[in-house]
Chain A
Amino acid sequence: MKLVSYFRGEAFQRGVHPPSCKLTADRKIRRLPFPDRVTVPLSQHIGKTPRPIVRVGQEVVRGQPIARSDEWLSVPHHAPLSGVVEFIGLRPGMRGTWIESIVIRAHPGATQEDLWGRPRDLSQASGQDILQAIWDTGMVGLGGAAFPTHAKLSVPKQAKVHTLVVNGCECEPYLTCDHRVMVEHAADLIAGIRYAMRATGAVRAIIGVEDNKPDAVLVLRQAIADAAAAGVSEEIHVEAVPTKYPQGSEKMLIMALFGAEMPAGGLPIALGMVVSNVGTLAALGRLLPLGQGLTERVVTVTGPGVARPGDYRVILGTPLKFVLDYAGVPAVDAMDARQVILGGPMMGQAIGSLDVPITKGVSGVLVFRREDMLERESRQTYPCIKCGECVESCPMGLNPSTLGMLAAKREYDLMGEQYFLGDCFECGCCTYVCPSNIPLVQQFRVAKQILREKAA
């Protein structure tokens, strides 16, 4: 009810409330078995693609670097399995194209313990040392964007950061991996937050958690109290923010916590803030003292087509087919899985092949069956009836209705110049609410791509 939220004054204006469908919110994280073979794509993150530093036939142990680059905006990859490098070449990637990957065949008898990492003491390390250590772990944003974490946490010389905002919103329906990490690995998270605060020089950290996860809020508050009792002097707060999509966008989270609008086109650093995801920081808190590389992550495997949905600790490079077989997707055999989505239902990427591996940026695997798609497929598309739903739901305050009409006429330049197409971060709210079933955000993606190509 927009009328009510208008007067109640919610965290940020507009936005939508999709059914949360968090099927796996109360289930513990379980480990997925190791597959026989893993495929590690070289390009898993934003930035430069690292080069392989192993050759075919070479034996690798779990945690050993297998690809690296000397570029700043790039991170190394580590072997997720102890085994033999079987193949280096093109393999199916999540975007549909085939990408350069390293395939490792597991040794049947290996323990699969990470024996490569060397524990180290970072208690006296400087910010630069911590950033270097973060780079060594190969950490990227585990929330989905996969931006190299050391780059995100390094502050430019002229800027100053006072606040570390920790994003535990997880506003996407279905996904619960961050939720479970907060509940089960709160101590790791606090440790990771402290490393990040030292790396950035922030004096306080604020964890924003959507208020549909009260258990996470309680656990984190307890963990902070425990840490304070153990002599941790950093200021860390936990704040429950209203449940609303897209609360997990950093602009919306900063709006909810500080009531400040981030200037368009700016980064949080302009306000003296750095935003990072809870999953990333929890992994950092665990890996940094051990000196290990990122070889696994927590993935939510869920959806109506999954028999045993849950949050699984999956080693990177595990083929989706293996994950889905283990989670019990009868649909894979009965051939009625219609859609497999990496990420959440609002912004996730549908994939065309089950040979695609789990990479660092994959937070969820969502399976829809044929019958789940029927309703959407039978929907008629109408012309825009100008109901204004999209305008009332766009968190960026754009006018998707007019933008959509311009996109249909291919007036891309006008969209960019007068209607601020560049501000759109493709959250999909407009398409979610559109009663006419117009693929608005899809059109905007095309338009943005065309504008980018024009500019290039």
Chain B
Amino acid sequence: MTTPIEIRSAPHVQSAKTVEMIMRHVVYSLLPICAFYVFQYGVSALASIIVVTGACLLTERFFVGTGTQAGRLSDYSAVITGLLLALTLPPGFPLWMGAVAGIVAIALGKALFGGIGFNVFNPALVGRAFVQAAFPTAIATYTPSFLPGRFTEFIPSTLALPLMIPADPASWLKAKSLDALAGATPLAKWKFDGVLANADELLTSLSGHMAVGPSPLLILVCGAYLASRRFMDWRIPLAILGSAALTASLLYAFDAARYPNPFFMLFSGGLILGAVYMATDMATSPVTPKGMWVYGALIGLLTVVIRYYSGLPEGVMYAILIANAASPLIERITQPVPFGRGVLDRVKKRATYPLNPGYISREEANAVTPKKRFLPNKPKK
């Protein structure tokens, strides 16, 4: 009776996956994307990533310190917010504006709701939506990638003093004998000038001085890693891309001259980044599998509609924010059907034995013994 054994409620074992582990792996998968982004835009992009992520972390630290928050600084969720936010901002975005975006993202997007798990909207997109409204010129000013000397020289707008209007990079670009159009995103070019970018430029963003964001191909690869280990749900990106492709193809089939081809729709702008990293934010997407399909389809549809019919060239951000707001509702109408409560006579063809025993025979003679499928046979140390 004196042995100090403890009583707990079952289950007494737990899987190795923790919140920190999920978040850490999302950060790992974002690192190659960030590295490529820095390779494209040089030191300005690096500074932007560091400042935005730093602002997010400091804000998170402040709010965690107040003791009103769930979670803690080491859960990596603020790092994800910071990296994603930095990737959605133009590379020459003034650093002080980036810091504002980071602070708003955590303060208004996350801390206001109570911290990790409670936020209704994706914090990174809240930050971006704020600066899009506050600094419309700066956020629409893209500079071309692969500029000569990008690792030694900041894009002039990056270093604007706090609360100062950044210098227009047009004159700076002119000095490098590039026209200002080179600084427009493929989506803006299509929307305002009717120029379509080529497929390979969009996919790898390796060619020429096109101003495109992080490479969609790289994002898809990193997303596949996350999905394969289920740090992210594969249904949401699939639903978004599928529904966007479907909507765009229908419109393309309807009037090929007016609407761009579906491929351009999928791989331009932030759709891939949004589908793989933004929309799959766990706290703001539905928890039910059916709901994930609905949610993804809604985002894909809204993105195409906003891109085609609104004054903005890009619609992913608002599409995701709207779907975030709708996700509790989606969840409510897509509750899973419990075992044994669905269609009653749902008998699968795969079944080994018929329910009615009238016509089975002994098949031990040709039965196959399966291979031993033990899982690691070691208790946790």
- From B1, B292, B342, A355 is in contact (CB under 8 Å) with B1
Contact between B7 and A382, CB atoms less than 8 A apart:
no
Chain B residues near A221: list those with CB within 8 A: 364, 367
Interface hit among B51-59, B143-151, B166-174, B227-235: B227-235
Q: Does A80 contact B (CB under 8 A)?
A: no
Contact between A1 and B230, CB atoms less than 8 A apart:
yes
Contact between B339 and A264, CB atoms less than 8 A apart:
yes
The residue in chain A whose Cβ has the minimal distance to the Cβ of B71 is A382
Contact between A383 and B9, CB atoms less than 8 A apart:
no
Whole-angstrom distance between the Cβ of A399 and the nearest chain B Cβ: 6
Known pairs A9-B350, A398-B336, A445-B9; A203 contacts B357 (CB<8 A)? yes
Q: Does A435 contact B (CB under 8 A)?
A: yes
Contact between A240 and B13, CB atoms less than 8 A apart:
no
Q: Does A238 contact B (CB under 8 A)?
A: yes
Q: Does B309 contact A (CB under 8 A)?
A: no
Whole-angstrom distance between the Cβ of A179 and the nearest chain B Cβ: 12
Chain A residues near B8: list those with CB within 8 A: 339, 350
6 shortest interchain CB distances as A-B pairs: A259-B351, A428-B11, A259-B348, A383-B117, A264-B340, A211-B370
Contact between B351 and A225, CB atoms less than 8 A apart:
no
Contact between A340 and B17, CB atoms less than 8 A apart:
no
Chain A residues near B116: list those with CB within 8 A: 382-383, 385
Q: How far does the alpha carbon of A382 sit from the alpha carbon of B116 in the complex, in Å? A: 8
Known pairs A239-B353, A382-B70; A261 contacts B228 (CB<8 A)? no
4 A-B pairs besides A340-B5, A386-B283 with CB distance below 8 A are A16-B15, A21-B378, A235-B360, A338-B5
Known pairs A206-B353, A391-B287, A391-B336; A372 contacts B282 (CB<8 A)? no
Contact between B352 and A264, CB atoms less than 8 A apart:
no
Q: Does A433 contact B (CB under 8 A)?
A: yes
Interface hit among B18-26, B190-198, B266-274: B18-26
Chain B residues near A261: list those with CB within 8 A: 339-340, 342, 344, 346
In the complex, per-residue mask of B284-296: 1 if CB is within 8 Å of any chain A CB, else 0: 0111110010000
Q: Chain B binding site: helix, strand, loop or mixed by DSSP?
A: loop
- From A239, A388, A397, B338 is in contact (CB under 8 Å) with A397
Q: How far does the alpha carbon of A436 sit from the alpha carbon of B355 in the complex, in Å? A: 41
Q: Does B201 contact A (CB under 8 A)?
A: no
Q: Does A128 contact B (CB under 8 A)?
A: no
In the complex, per-residue mask of A2-22: 1 if CB is within 8 Å of any chain B CB, else 0: 110000010010001111111
The residue in chain B whose Cβ has the minimal distance to the Cβ of A392 is B289
Contact between B117 and A420, CB atoms less than 8 A apart:
no
Q: Does B371 contact A (CB under 8 A)?
A: yes
Chain B residues near A2: list those with CB within 8 A: 230
The residue in chain B whose Cβ has the minimal distance to the Cβ of A17 is B375
Q: How far does the alpha carbon of A12 sit from the alpha carbon of B340 in the complex, in Å? A: 12
Known pairs A163-B357, A237-B362; A258 contacts B5 (CB<8 A)? no
- From B227, B283, B341, B372, A385 is in contact (CB under 8 Å) with B283
Known pairs A264-B340, A383-B117; A437 contacts B14 (CB<8 A)? yes
Contact between A337 and B375, CB atoms less than 8 A apart:
no
Contact between B288 and A399, CB atoms less than 8 A apart:
yes
CB neighbors of B among A252-294 (8 A): 255-266, 271-272
Q: Which of A238, A261, A262 has the most CB of B within 10 A?
A: A261
CB neighbors of A among B163-197 (8 A): none
CB neighbors of B among A422-445 (8 A): 423, 426, 428, 431-437, 439, 441-442, 445
Q: Does A455 contact B (CB under 8 A)?
A: no
Q: How far does the alpha carbon of A394 sit from the alpha carbon of B376 in the complex, in Å? A: 23
- From B285, B292, B339, B372, A251 is in contact (CB under 8 Å) with B339
Q: Does A416 contact B (CB under 8 A)?
A: no
Contact between B6 and A350, CB atoms less than 8 A apart:
yes
Q: Does A224 contact B (CB under 8 A)?
A: yes
Known pairs A383-B116, A383-B117, A396-B339; A439 contacts B9 (CB<8 A)? yes
Interface hit among A30-38, A110-118, A146-154, A341-349: A341-349
Q: Does A366 contact B (CB under 8 A)?
A: yes
Chain A residues near B71: list those with CB within 8 A: 382-383
- From A1, A271, A349, B10 is in contact (CB under 8 Å) with A349
